[in-house]
Structure 1
C-alpha cells in the first residue's frame, strides 16, 4: 500500500508540504507523481536537492495547455521513497519511474530532465526506449567531469557522514543558508518571487533521509554518466539540449557541448548569459525546445 502522506521511507514529516499528486506503489515503495493537462505526454524530472514543486511553480501550467504533463519526485527525494541506501543510479531511477509511468497509462513521451534529472532522462532513453519518444535536457548533468565534487560530498556520502554530519546539517542549517543556496543556483539571475516558499526547502534540508539520498546520488553519478556517454552515439531519438552559457554548476562546455557531438540526432540551444535554471529564467526557450522535441518525435 502507498505510504501515508509525509510518512514514507523517504523521511519524516512533510513540514507543511504534503504530496500534491498521487503516491504510486512501485517496487515496495512509493513514487510521487502529479499529472495534469491533455495531449501528448511530457514527463518532467527535477534536479539534485529538488522535487516536483520546482516544475509546478510555473512550467507545468505552461505545458498543460498543450500536453499531458507528469512531474515525478525522483526516488529518495520529495515524497518518493529511496530504493536503497547507496545512492540510486540514473538507470535504477529510470526503471522505477518507467514502471510508475506505466501505472499512470503514459505512452511514448518527451522526457525532460533538469540538471541531475538530465542524466535520468538519458538513462531512461537508453534502458527503456519503448517509452521515450524524445529527450530534452535543461542544464543536464550528462557527461563525466574533471576532478571531484569537493569535501561535502566526500564526507557526507560515507557511512559515518550519513549518520552524523547529515542529521546535524538537516537540523541546524539556518533559513539564510537555504536562501543563499537557491540564489547561487539561479545566478547570475535571481529566483522569481515566491519560489523558495513554493518549492519547499524543508522537504530537502529538514529531512535527513532525503538529504542523504541526494548526497549519495550526486556523489556516485560520475561513473554512471561516463558509462552512459559511451552509448550515446547509438541513441537515434531526437534530443534537445538547452544550456545556459553562464551555468557554473553544470558547465555547458563539460556537459552540453560534448554530448551534442556524440548524439546523432541532437540540437543544442545555447542561452547567452543564462545560468543553471533555464526553465525559470528562459521559459520561452524551454517551451520551444519541448515543443520541437514533440514535433520531431511525431507526437504533434
Structure 2
C-alpha cells in the first residue's frame, strides 16, 4: 500500500513538473558540453549575461523587470544554468562555479560574443567572479547582487545536500521532497524577500518549477558545492581586475549579505558598493532600478577605460611621428604649466583625508573585522563544523525542524498516517535518538564555549596591555607637565599629588593587593 502511494505521488509530481516547465518562457536551446543549455534573449548593444541563483531560473529576471529594462540598452541573455529551468544537467559532472563559468563563456563564444557584461545573483554572483578571474579578457565588467562570497559552514547546507545522494535521495526527490517544498514555499518566500514585499508574480510562477525533481537535484548538488567551499580555504578576490559593482540588501535574512559585500568591496580594488535599505536577499526583485543603474555605471566605467586606453595608444603613436616638434608660445607654455599645477594640487587635495574621530573609528573597526576574518580563516575544519552545528542548534530553524520531525514521528507511529507503517510504536527509538542527539549537541556547545573562552581571555589580556600602555603614557605626560611648571615657576594646589601620580604602577603589586583583599573578604 505504501509503495503504491509513493508511486502515485511520484506520478503526480511528474505531471505538475511538466505543467510547470510548459508555463515558462521558451527561448533558444543550445547543445554544448554534453547538455542542453536554455537561454532567453532580447535587445541590442553590449551583451549582458544574466546568471540566476540556486533554486531559481532565467524567468526570475523576467518577472523582476530587470530583463526588459536592461534590454532597452543591452543585448540581454538570461541563462538557465545546468539543471535549472529548461536546461539539463549531466550526472557525471559536479558543475562547480568554475565549470559553469567555463560553460557560460563557451556559450557566449558560440554566439559570436567576444566582450560581455555579467550580472549574477546569489550563487550566480560566484560564477560571475569566476568568469572575471578565468576569462578577464572577455569580461567588460561584473555586477554582483546578494552574492555568497565567503560561505561559512552551515548545517542546513549539509541537510539540503542529502537528497543529492543516489538511490535513496532519488526516491525522496521524486516523492516526498516536492510536496515538502510546496508546503514550505510561503516560509521560503518570507525568508528570501523580507523585510521587503514579496513579489506575488514570482512566488506564484516559481513554486511548481522550483519543486520539480530534476531542479531539486541541481539545488541539492549546488548546496553540496557551497558546503565544500565553506569547509575549504577561503578564496581571495584581490586578483579581480575588471570593473565591479556590488549590491546587497541591508535586511538579508538568508545570510549577512551586507557584511560579505563590504568585505568584498574592501578586497576588490576600485569596486563600487551599494547597500539597498529595507531589501532582503532578492534585491533584483525589490529594487530592479538600482540593479540596472549599477549595470549602467559599470558599463560606463568599461567604456571610459577603453577610451583612455585608445587615447594613450594614440599619444604613444604621436610621439614617434617624424617631423619638427610644434613650438609653443610663452603664454601657451605658461598656461600648460598652470594647468599641470592645478591638476597636481587637485589630486593632492583629494588624497588628503582628515584624521578626525570618525576616520580613526572607521580604521579601528576595519582592523577588528580584518583580525576576526584572519582568525576564522585559520580555524580547522573540526572547529568550523562544531561552530556551525552550535549556531544551527541555537536557531529557530532547529526548533521548527525538530517540531516537524517529532509530530510526524508520533503521528506515523500512532497509525494516523495510513501510508506509512509504524516502526516505533513504544517510542523507545525516539527516546534513544533524542538522548544521543542531546549528548552530541552538548559536546558541540562545550567546544564552542571553550573557543569563546579563549577569545575572551585574549581580549582581556589585550585590554590589560592597553591599560598599562595608557598608564605609562599618562605618567610621561605628567612628568612633562611638571617639568614645564617647574621651569616656568608655576605652582598649583595639585603639586603635592604630581610626585605620586608620576610614579609607574606595578601591575604585580596591584594584582597582589586585589587577591589579598579578596581573601580577606572571604575570611570575614
TM-score using structure 1 length: 0.87
Partner of residue 286, structure 1: 291
Larger radius of gyration: 2
With a CA cutoff of 8 Å and minimum separation of 6, indicate the structure with the bigger relative contact order: 1
Structure 2 CA distance for partners of 1:131 and 1:256, relative to 1, 3 Å: same
Number of the residue aligned with 1:203: 209
Check whether the contact 1:166–1:208 (CA below 8 A) recurs between aligned residues.
yes
1:25 and 2:31 aligned: yes
The match for 2:220 is 215
Whether the aligned pair in 2 keeps the contact of 1:42 and 1:70 (CA below 8 Å) is yes
Quick one: distance in 2 between partners of 1:48 and 1:92? 15
Tell me how far apart the structure 2 counterparts of residues 174 and 250 of structure 1 sit (CA, whole Å).
20
Residue number in structure 1 paired with 2:72: 65
Deviation (angstroms), 1:24: 0.3
Deviations 1:98-157 (A, max 9, x none): 111112222311100001111111111111223211111110112232544355325323
Is the 2:148–2:257 Cα contact (8 Å) retained in structure 1? no
Query: Which stretch of structure 1 is more off in the superposition, 76-85 or 217-226?
Result: 217-226
Q: Which residue of 250, 258, 263 corresponds with 1:258?
A: 263
- Equivalent residues in 2 for 1:1-300 (5 A)? 13=18, 15=20, 16-18=22-24, 20-57=26-63, 58-84=65-91, 87-150=94-157, 152-159=159-166, 161-173=168-180, 175-198=182-205, 200-205=206-211, 207-224=212-229, 230-298=235-303
Q: What whole-Å deviation, never above 9, does each CA across 1:48-69 have from its counterpart, x for those lacking one?
A: 1000000011111111111111
Deviation at 1:252, TM superposition (A): 2.1
Q: How many residues align?
A: 287
How far apart are the structure 1 equivalents of 2:227 and 2:158?
Answer: 16
- What does the per-residue CA deviation read over 1:234-253, in whole Å, with 9 as the maximum and x for residues that have no partner? 11111100001101213224
Is the CA contact (8 Å cut-off) linking 2:182 and 2:208 kept in structure 1?
no
Structure 1 range deviating more: 180-189 or 135-144: 180-189
Q: 1:231 to 1:175 in 2, by over 3 A?
A: closer
Q: 1:147 to 1:192 in 2, by over 3 A?
A: closer
Instruction: Flag the 1:226–1:169 CA change in 2: closer, same or farther, 3 A.
Output: same
Q: Report the Cα offset of residue 85 of structure 1.
A: 5.2
Higher strand share: 1
Conserved 8 A contact 1:112-1:118? yes
State the superposition RMSD in angstroms: 2.4
SS in 2 for 1:159: coil
Q: TM-score, normalised by structure 2?
A: 0.51
1 or 2, which has the higher helix percentage?
Answer: 2
Displacement of 1:173: 3.3
- d(CA) in 2 for partners of 1:101 and 1:249? 31
Change in CA separation of 1:238 and 1:27 when aligned onto 2, cut-off 3 Å:
same
My pick for the range that moved more, 153-162 or 97-106, is 153-162
Q: Aligned with 1:13: secondary structure?
A: helix
Question: Closer, same or farther in 2 for the Cα pair 1:108/1:270, shift >3 Å?
Answer: same
**Distance in 2 between the 1:82 and 1:175 partners?**
23
Distance 2:177 2:28 in 1: 26
The Cα offsets for residues 64-99 of structure 1, whole Å up to 9 and x where unpaired, read as 111111100011111111143564210111111111
The separation in 2 between residues aligned to 1:148 and 1:172, in whole angstroms, is: 22
> Which residue number corresponds to residue 507 of structure 2?
none
